[in-house]
């Protein structure tokens, strides 16, 4: 059973976060689908040699799951920090 999407603290931010994910991962050289940005996790998993599928992934270790999510989320956080620094410089 596919996992439900996590809800952002501000639900209205979902579309912007998905767009950011697609942009950030495209900059990293991954193929992204702006209509379905979660698909990039399968490309990341494949690159790392982690057997991720769109069904049940209960056999994955925490370390394997963290490598996939950490790669994506870490790059998103770096980009958001850069954006915040640029905004502070403008003020």
pLDDT single digits (tens) 30-70: 888 878 888 889 999 999 999 998 888 888 999 999 999 89
Q: Is residue 6 part of a domain?
A: no
In terms of residue numbers, what domain contains 20?
11-90
The DSSP H or E segment spanning 65 is helix 62-90
Q: How many domains does the chain have?
A: 1
Q: Is residue 36 part of a domain?
A: yes
The share of the chain scoring above pLDDT 70, in percent, equals 93
Q: Is residue 1 part of a domain?
A: no
Q: Is residue 4 part of a domain?
A: no
Q: Is residue 33 part of a domain?
A: yes
């Amino acid at each position: 059973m596919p996992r439900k999407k996590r809800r952002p603290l501000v639900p209205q931010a979902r579309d912007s976060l998905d767009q950011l994910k697609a942009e950030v991962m495209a900059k990293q050289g991954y193929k992204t689908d702006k209509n379905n940005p979660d698909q990039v996790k399968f490309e990341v998993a494949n690159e790392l040699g982690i057997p991720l599928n769109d069904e049940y992934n209960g056999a994955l270790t925490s370390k394997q799951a963290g490598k996939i999510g950490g790669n994506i989320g870490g790059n998103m956080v770096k980009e958001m920090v850069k954006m915040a620094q640029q905004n502070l410089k403008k003020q």
